[in-house]
Amino acid sequence: MALLSWCDKFSVQVRQFDEEHKQLIALVNQLHDAMKMGQGKQVIGDVLNGLINYTQNHFAAEERLMKAHGFPDYEKHKKEHNQLTMSVLDLQKGYLAGNAPLSQSVMVFLKDWLTSHIQGVDKEYGPFLNGKGLK
């Protein structure tokens, strides 16, 4: 059973970003499933790589649209993205140096960030972008 399942409470009402958020949920669930089978350490590298790819592409897309449409909290949102990106890069740095992060702590970090960021600050840009014609 998945740790997280997509539901309306995660929707920001912008189709592109909802689809991308579903990818993040899939990463968290991939790690969770591997941990349940005792294989968390085997997949942590792939999950971190996927998360770095995700942050680069998804955050750039969000920021591009927010900036293009004059989203008033753009700088605040970008700062949160930068903080998450630095956290993920730190996790990967430790992993590559042989100090593999505990799969459980990475999973909890991802789950907590996912729920708080999407349900918090991401929900703020949805109505704004909808008002600019983006669905």
* CATH 3.90.1150.10 correct for 12-33+42-131: no
> Structure pTM?
0.86
SS3 32: helix
Q: How far is the C-alpha of 92 from the C-alpha of 89, rounded, in Å?
A: 5
Per-residue pLDDT tens for 43-102? 888 888 888 898 899 999 999 999 999 999 999 999 999 998 888 888 888 888 887 666
